[in-house]
Amino acid sequence: MTRFRKGDAVQHAGYGRGTVSGVRIDGYEVRVTFGSFSLWIPTRELERAPGGLRLVGAPPPPAPDRGPGDRTSFEAILRLLTGEPEPPAQARTGAPPPREPGRRPRPRPEPRFRPAHDQRTVRDSTAIEAFRLGIVPLRHVTDWTVGREREIGQLRSFLHDPAEGAVLIEGAYGAGKSHLLQVLAQDATALGFATAMAGFDPSEATAAFPKKAYRRLVRSLAVPLDGTTLDFRGFWTAVAERPVWHDVLGDHWLFGPFLARLAKGRVDEDHWEHVEARGQADPRRATLHDYSTCANLYANLLTAMSRAAVDVLGLTGLAVLLDEAEVARNTMYRYQALRGVNFFRGLVLAANDDPALAEEEIVRRDATTVGTETGLVYSGHNPIRYTTGIPAGLKVAFALTPGSLQEEFRRTRESIPRVELDVLGYDQLRLLFGRIADTFAGVYGVRPTREARDRMFRLLATADRVSSTRGFIKGAIEALDFLRFYPEGDVEALILDGQA
């Protein structure tokens, strides 16, 4: 078994290149950071990659073997007793002689300072800064979408299809899944959906503990209403101002009492934090448990939000967008992986208005509370149903890597649509690179010749170290930045080897 330490560079078949940031279970699992997220991964799935980092607190390297010239050697003690001088460092350690001045490598010249143009636009400057991270600016995500017409068409069909409540967006790490989720969010908003997005992380918001995912969805909620965009608190304030809420959610276990107080102006910060799942437990209010068995509570809350959006505010529905869904399986304990899948299954069934959620018997079986028809796990403390009613008005999109959870989703709903992201074609990458180079020129004035620009693109499109759309975008900016500071530098070496 290969042993890894903190700071080692590794390669994963699905997620790409990353850096080890933690080790557990005697080295059988390591935590790897892949750009914007990190996962615990079995060591057997990783290969060592060139490069890496030396992290603070990492074990020191083994001490070198002591040679005969060490200060504690017998010869050193004799020299100390007889007063003989120390031999030169080269003779004592066997180190190679220093380089002659004429043989030293030529240092790289001082970089040129080329500030951004005064005439640059905020739009272009924002785009360049986003490209450095391998992403595009969210405000202009549609403008920077290249070569995804088929996929976007599939997602728009999903939004218009009342018969499908959930969709899978599949693609390798860095292929553009998060980008496509942002495009979906903008299209959903244009159609009158409220939207909420959350990403999963084993260390912070794992799907096994749905309360954390609910918190993130609450923070990102965006509700288009009367020409403005409301957040979570603005949304519920608008709902409370319309008396029809009594008919829709008057008997809801959490939002019913909350809306009654809000309509009378008797809600303070503690009440808001409670419904946002951030407050302390209070015996006077319904408890929002943080157990892995409580997926029914938070699926129920999301369907309550979607029903309020549709039946109270007149919106189209609520679109819940979940990124990095595959990490639901990457947990320390098997039961956590099962609970994460359970949460996803509950959301899929709720979004598809499965009648079993409203009708099935909820029983206690093998120390777990489950539904007799769906097999879903319910909270033993509060076994409410996964949905507040049918139709729920909920749409759910999952972005995940291929081969991770697809079978689980198919078992839940055979007809669940899949949008598969292929790598961008050569011509599409050329178009993307041209637009990036033009934007960079508008900000910094760096304009390579046509021949140099074509050469840079061909190297970026075929370089082994550029294996994803995200890597291509970052590599393009890295190369252009290099030319910005070192116009005479070897940009080809930078692209091919990461060194110049």
DSSP state of 40: E
Q: How far apart are CA 300 and CA 344, in angstroms?
A: 13
Q: What is the pLDDT of residue 244?
A: 97
Give the model's pLDDT for residue 213: 94
Joined together, the tokens standing for residue 230 give: 């409301």
How much is the pLDDT for 423? 82
Q: What is the domain partition of the chain in residue ranges?
A: 8-52, 148-420, 425-497
Tell me, what's the pLDDT at 247? 97
Nearest to 423 by CA among 164, 146, 182, 94: 146
Residue 113: CA atoms inside 13 Å, Cβ hemisphere, count?
A: 0
Flag whether the pTM goes above 0.85.
Answer: no
pLDDT value, residue 64? 44
CA angle 132, 136, 138 (to 5 degrees): 130
Name the CATH architecture for the domain at 8-52.
Answer: Roll (2.30)
With H, G, I as helix, E, B as strand and everything else as coil, classify residue 140: helix
| CA-only gyration radius of the chain, Å | 29
DSSP string for residues in 376-440: -EE-SS----S-SSSS--EEEEEEE-TTSSHHHHHHH-TT--EEE-PPPPHHHHHHHHHHHHHHH
Where the chain has pLDDT below 70, the residues are: 35-37, 51-110, 112-114, 117, 202-205, 330-332, 404, 465-466, 498-500
The gap from C-alpha 345 to its chain's centroid, in whole angstroms, comes to: 21
Burial 301-335 (b: 16+ CB within 10 A, else e): bbbbbbbbbbbbbebbbbbbbbbbbbbbbbbeeee
Neighbours of 201 (CB within 10 A): 19
Q: What is the rounded CA–CA span in Å between residue 412 and residue 310?
A: 26
Question: Residue 327's closest CA among 184, 204, 197?
Answer: 204
Burial per residue of 439-451, b for 16 or more beta-carbon CB atoms within 10 angstroms, e otherwise: bbbbbbebebeee
Angle, to 10 degrees, between the axis of helix 426-444 and the axis of helix 122-132? 120
Q: Dump pLDDT digits (tens) for 75-104.
A: 555 555 555 666 665 554 444 445 445 444
DSSP string, 310-341: IIIT--SEEEEEEESGGGGG--SSHHHHHHHH
**Bond into 383 cis (ω within 30):** no
Instruction: Concatenate the DSSP letters of all residues of 228-243 into one string.
Output: EEE-HHHHHHHHHTST
The answer to whether domain 8-52 and domain 148-420 are alike in fold is: no
At the topology level, CATH places domain 148-420 in Rossmann fold (3.40.50)
pLDDT of amino acid 53: 54
Report how far residue 307's alpha carbon sits from residue 245's, in angstroms, rounded to the nearest whole number.
10
Tell me whether strands 368-371 and 37-42 are parallel, antiparallel or unpaired.
unpaired
Give residue 14's pLDDT: 73
